[in-house]
Structure 1
Amino acid sequence: MSGRFDVSVVGLYILDILGRPVESIPEGGNVEFIEEIRLTVAGTAGGTVVDLAKLGLKCQAVGAVGDDEKADFVLNHMARAGIDCRLMQQLEGVETSATILNVRANGERPALHCRGASDHFDVSPDQLSEVLNCRFLHLGGTGLLARMDGEPSRRLLQAAQEAGCVTTWDLVGAGPDTWQFVEPLLPHIDYFIPSIEEAEILSGVSGVEDNIAFFQSRGVKCCVLTMGGDGSMIAQGNDRVHVPVYDIDVVDTTGCGDAYTAGFIAGLADDRSLLECGHLGTAAASLVASGLGSDAGIIDRAQTEAAMAAWRAA
């Protein structure tokens, strides 16, 4: 299925408000001065779709925002990036999902999150054919999509595979209750892209190989585990591909997982090998880590490819 869009990105759309470096929260009504404040479109869907668009893919955003000033920023920012936002629901009387991130000098980023519109989002039957008008369907944000989590997400992923779409998946903030939403999805996920920490929380087992075996035995076609400073491990059947990190100066890791996913999908769209998909994901994540926020660093595909080539040659 060729589809009108390269990718439909379904799920969690958030406005991030980031500041750095935050050493402490001032007492009382006092003020501390910091170097930088940014607003970005983020979330396991929002951050991914913006990076995909920067990498040159034709994308549609499928999610929900509220009817507030935060929604205006999210929708306008995506539209300026060339993303089709017709399937973004704007819900009356609801806040847009948003996070305040206080980024410390050491990269830690304690967060204050308002769940908002993403809890009220779902894909209605009359939208389904438009949502599936794509080569790749990425579902991002399981665990923070109250109406979509569980059976609605399973039906969406199954329908996507039946329509000939390649399915990719990521979550955010795995917790003790997340597994019940994830387990039914696994047979319908072609590329499963959590962090190793999230995978271990979901599975209850430790270690890369044990987690690969756990998820493959439950139907996942390809496990793509991001491992922070240890790079990423891509497992398809008995094949293993390890992609190391690049030697970079890290400013902020917000959105690095979403950028990796975007680069990986962009590689798949080019019919690249799993190794090359992993390197493109690593390059995208490395660029994002070089600045503040989930869309930092990435300008376009040519710049990302050039940076990847330079890092690999170093």
Structure 2
Amino acid sequence: MKIATVGVHVLDTHVIGIESIPGGSDGQLVETIRMSAAGTAGGTALVLSRIGAEVLSFGAVGSDPIGDTLLALLAREGVDTSGLVRKDDQQTSASVIPVRPNGDRPAWHCIGANGAFTLDDLDRAALDGITHLHLGGPEFLGGEAAGELLAHARSIGATTSLDVLAPGDPDMLAWIAGALPHTDYLLPNDEQVFGFTGASSLADGARALVDAGAGCVAVTQGAKGALVVTADEVIEVPAYPIEPDRLVDTTGCGDAFSAGFLRGLSLGRDLRAAARLGCATAAQVAQGLGTDAGSYDLDTVVALAG
């Protein structure tokens, strides 16, 4: 599998042990502060590389220390970052995620360079030879430009996938609608599906997105697992149970599912088996802090998925 991951790249800073925000200028000790590569393109890229894909990342970061750190974290995992352009007038996209003892994870986020990325920043010749193109955050490009990129990927023999970062909303769906007919696999979460479509059931909402042009919709449902819908079938795959004392942080689990699902397809698995691999990959990531935590690899997630 040689995959181009295009779009949103973020540096996440996770803070474990947040009980409250101190008042005034007071301080508070926490358990852990850790940085990791994230985003619907960046996080997916890292996990894909971990599980054996050849990964080329394309997007925009700032010419700042945050960008230096993000590039180093991706490169350390074997991701080819030569397609990430540096924007001198933008900061690198970053999030701070305080994780509360009950698992809640609110976030502060700066869009930064992700909002300045355009198709002019991407050398299409660098895509030659890829087997798949994954676009994370099509809303930053708009449906017309996103569709143009996905159509180009198909023209050179690659399959395509799309993962939206923004919350589900009918206006957002209209904004990216031009990309859906060029999308083989749409990878939303359940809240996005309901928000995009207003459907009364998740399966009906996913079918509406298939009717809008997507070839297949693979929806994550948090602790419930995933639902995969095509024009011909509906497949439900449960999540893998995690003991409470092993659950660390669910940030990035959606990106991990995307990576595992797409990798499963590249290995010749059918939709159900690919979704099982996606859920197994998400379970691995949930047991660490950040997508790069621990030492999981393809053998690890295959052993869990069966």
TM beyond 0.5? yes
Task: Work out the CA distance in 1 between the residues paired with 2:31 and 2:2.
Answer: 38
* Partner residue in 1 for 2:27: 31
Range with bigger deviation, 121-130 or 30-39? 121-130
Aligned to 2:154: 161
Counterpart contact for 1:287–1:298, Cα < 8 Å = no
Query: Aligned pair 1:80/2:76, yes or no?
Result: yes
2:114 to 115, 118, 130: 118
TM-score normalised over the length of structure 1: 0.92
Q: What's the offset of the Cα at 1:193?
A: 0.8
TM-score by length of 2: 0.94
Deviation at 1:132, TM superposition (A): 4.8
The code of the aligned residue for 1:30 comes to D
Q: Match for residue 61 of structure 1? A: 57
Contact 2:59 2:122 in 1 (8 A): no
What residue number does 2:231 align with? 237
Structure 1 runs (4+) deviating above 3 angstroms are none
Q: How do 1:192-207 and structure 2 match up within 5 A?
A: 192-207=186-201
Contact 2:144/2:176 (<8 A) preserved = no
Amino acid at match of 1:129: A
Asked if residue 276 in structure 1 is aligned to residue 267 in structure 2, the reply is no
Aligned: 1:307 with 2:304:
yes
Distance 2:200 2:151 in 1: 29
Stretch of structure 1 that moved more, 280-289 or 178-187: 178-187
- Write out aligned runs for 1:78-227 (5 A): 78-124=74-120, 127-143=123-139, 145=140, 148-176=141-169, 177-227=171-221
| 1:107–1:6 Cα change, 3 Å | same
Task: Give the match for residue 20 of structure 1.
Answer: 16
Tell which deviates more after alignment, 291-300 or 162-171: 291-300
Q: Structure 1 stretches of 5 or more lacking a match? A: 310-314
Task: Give how far 1:298 is off.
Answer: 5.2
- Give aligned-pair identity as a percent: 37
Shift of 1:27: 0.6
Judged with a 3 Å threshold, the aligned counterparts in structure 2 of structure 1 residues 266 and 289 are, in CA distance, closer, same or farther, namely same
Indicate how the Cα distance of structure 1 residues 277 and 126 shifts in structure 2: closer, same or farther if over 3 A, else same.
closer
2:207–2:230 contact (8 Å) kept in structure 1: no
RMSD, matched Cα = 1.6
Match of 2:282 among 281, 285, 291: 285
